[in-house]
Every structure is written in C-alpha cells, then in structure tokens.
Amino acid sequence: MKTDFNVIIEKDEEGFYIASVPALSGCHTQAKSLDILMERIKEAIELCIEDEEFIYPYDFVGVQKISVNEKNIKYSDNKHK
C-alpha cells in the first residue's frame, strides 16, 4: 500500500535545500540539489514509518509567506532580585 506524504521544502542562507515531513516528527533532511533532496527525504520517510506511528497526512492546502516587523526583545531575569 502506498501513502502520500506532504513534504515542506525550504532553502537556507547557505544554499542547502531542507525537506521536512509534518506528519512524521523529526523526519527531515538536507541536500545541495533538489534531486538528491528528493531521494534523501524518501529514504527518511521509509525509515520513519518503520519505527513509529504517524499522523495520517492531511490534504495539502497551500503555503503562505507572511512578513512581520522584528522587535528588539529584552529578556530580564527577575528571579535573582
């Protein structure tokens, strides 16, 4: 039986492609090319489903990029006062 999984692909600042599978906790990999990335994520999925139960993949709806303004956040440690 075949199961389809949604794979999220991003590209980091160093040019690596990163793939992750939301239905499988901790299932991710990276590569310099998309072809290699697809081979690696398929292998990662196969390994993950051997070892754990997974959340049945939801139907993919889409991806939306949202921009927000960064804020300077100052953390304080009030425990030691």
Write the secondary structure of the chain as one string of H (helix), E (strand) and C (coil). CCCCCCCEEEECCCCCEEEECCCCCCCEEEECCHHHHHHHHHHHHHHHHHHCCCCCCCCCCCCCCCCCCCCCCCCCCHHHC
The hierarchical CATH code for the domain 1-53 is: 3.30.160.250
Q: For 11-31, what is each residue's pLDDT tens digit?
A: 999 999 999 998 888 999 999
CA distances in angstroms from 40 to 14, 19, 22, 60, 62, listed in the order given: 19, 9, 16, 21, 23
pLDDT of residue 43: 97
With pLDDT > 70 as the criterion, what percentage of the chain qualifies?
81
pLDDT of residue 33: 98
Confidence of residue 52 (pLDDT cuts 50, 70, 90): low
